[in-house]
């Protein structure tokens, strides 16, 4: 790999790691907002706010490219692809939220995190070659998630099934983003998927939730954080990062969201951190490092 390629890979890893950190800390904002408004309204407002945040950036970029008109086919692909990623994102978030009604938070976090293993499996179906190191790192990350979640087994509930279906949806979303990132403007993709997810979330909110303007005002700081950073910044960073990294490696890096959520709970909410949680963070960090290392003894052992 050339020095330029290595720098690009490091930049992509940094973008995905920052996205995971923002999402992890966003759990704090989400917990604060849930005390006032329902999850669908929260998602609807924050995703549309994120799209609104990115729209001026998208318009500026288009003005700079005014001399080179964008083909209609490419615009249509961006619209359809963005709508598809937004719909999958909405399905994944909905399955996770509904599944948590009958499943504990720790177990829910672990089942959702199984997308780390599902992503390379889907990659094989798509004809990708997955390095041994990525498989090992995916299982390390899964083990870390288990320790972080505090999951302890128990009978299978209907919520567990919904959460597992949600994990499949998250894995599909990672692959869709990887496919779109290679073919469209990252800002355009982020805006399109945010609008789609936001509109679908608001539609469900109007159907099943009741709220008031005062409740929305009380949740405004959390909504602003989640909208500007979690959606506007983090989802854009995910798309930018996945332009260089394959979905399997990206999935391992994005799974660090769980470790950052623990850190945010400890630093901001004063939640206790146990030795088991620290061991889980260590396993996830080991997986992240291994997924991006090539070992060689005389010849490469872990080839793409």
Q: How far apart are CA 119 and CA 87, in angstroms?
A: 18
- In this prediction, residue 165 carries a pLDDT of 92
SS3 29: helix
Domain coordinates of the chain in residue numbers? Answer: 8-293
- pLDDT per residue as tens digits for the range 284-303: 888 877 776 654 333 333 33
Structure tokens at 217: 């005002």
- The burial of 189, by beta-carbon neighbours within 10 Å (0-12 exposed, 13-18 middle, 19 or more buried), is given as buried
- pLDDT per residue as tens digits for the range 223-278: 999 899 988 999 889 888 888 788 888 888 888 887 887 777 777 767 777 888 88
CA atoms within 13 A on the CB side of 287: 30
Contact call for residues 6 and 231 (beta carbons, < 8 A): no
- The burial of 204, by beta-carbon neighbours within 10 Å (0-12 exposed, 13-18 middle, 19 or more buried), is given as middle
- In this prediction, residue 285 carries a pLDDT of 81
Contact call for residues 5 and 244 (beta carbons, < 8 A): no
If pLDDT is split at 50, 70 and 90, which confidence band does 281 have? Answer: confident
- pLDDT per residue as tens digits for the range 5-28: 556 778 888 899 899 888 888 777
Q: Which residues contact 142 (CB under 8 A, 6 or more apart)?
A: 113, 114, 116, 117
- In this prediction, residue 295 carries a pLDDT of 42
Q: Distance between alpha carbon 140 and the CA centroid of its chain, in Å? A: 19
If pLDDT is split at 50, 70 and 90, which confidence band does 84 have? Answer: very high
- pLDDT per residue as tens digits for the range 125-165: 888 887 888 888 888 888 888 887 766 656 667 778 888 89
Query: Is the confidence at residue 61, as pLDDT, over 80?
Result: no
Beta bridge pairs of residue 126? none
Q: How far apart are CA 195 and CA 235, in angstroms?
A: 13
Q: What is the pTM of this model?
A: 0.79
- In this prediction, residue 169 carries a pLDDT of 94
Name the phi and psi angles at 299, rounded to 5.
-145, 160
Mean pLDDT of the chain: 81
The whole-number average pLDDT for the span 45-67 is 82
- Looking up tokens 């936001």 gives 198
């Amino acid at each position: 790999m050339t020095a330029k390629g290595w720098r690009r890979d490091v930049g992509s890893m940094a973008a995905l790691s920052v996205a995971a950190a923002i999402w992890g800390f966003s759990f704090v904002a989400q917990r604060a907002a849930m005390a006032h408004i329902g999850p669908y309204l929260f998602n609807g407002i924050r995703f549309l706010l994120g799209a609104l945040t990115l729209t001026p950036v998208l318009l500026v970029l288009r003005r700079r490219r005014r001399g080179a008109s964008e083909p209609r086919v490419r615009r249509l692909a961006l619209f359809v692809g963005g709508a598809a990623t937004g719909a999958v994102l909405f399905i994944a978030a909905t399955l996770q939220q509904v599944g948590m009604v009958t499943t504990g938070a720790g177990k829910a976090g672990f089942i959702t995190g199984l997308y780390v293993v599902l992503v390379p499996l889907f990659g094989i179906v798509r004809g990708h070659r997955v390095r041994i190191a990525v498989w090992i790192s995916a299982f390390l990350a899964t083990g870390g998630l288990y320790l972080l979640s505090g999951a302890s087994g128990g009978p299978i509930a209907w919520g567990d099934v919904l959460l597992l279906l949600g994990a499949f949806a998250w894995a599909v979303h990672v692959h869709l983003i990887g496919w779109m990132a290679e073919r469209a403007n990252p800002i355009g993709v982020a805006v399109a998927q945010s609008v789609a997810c936001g509109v679908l979330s608001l539609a469900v909110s109007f159907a099943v939730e009741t709220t008031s303007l005062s409740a929305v005002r009380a949740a405004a700081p959390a909504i602003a954080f989640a909208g500007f950073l979690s959606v506007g910044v983090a989802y854009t960073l995910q798309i930018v990062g996945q332009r260089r990294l394959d979905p399997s490696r990206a999935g391992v890096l994005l799974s660090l969201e769980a470790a950052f959520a623990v850190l945010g709970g400890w630093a901001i909410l004063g939640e206790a951190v146990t030795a088991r949680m620290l061991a889980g963070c260590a396993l996830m960090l080991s997986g992240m490092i291994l997924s991006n290392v090539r070992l060689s003894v005389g010849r490469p052992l872990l080839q793409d």
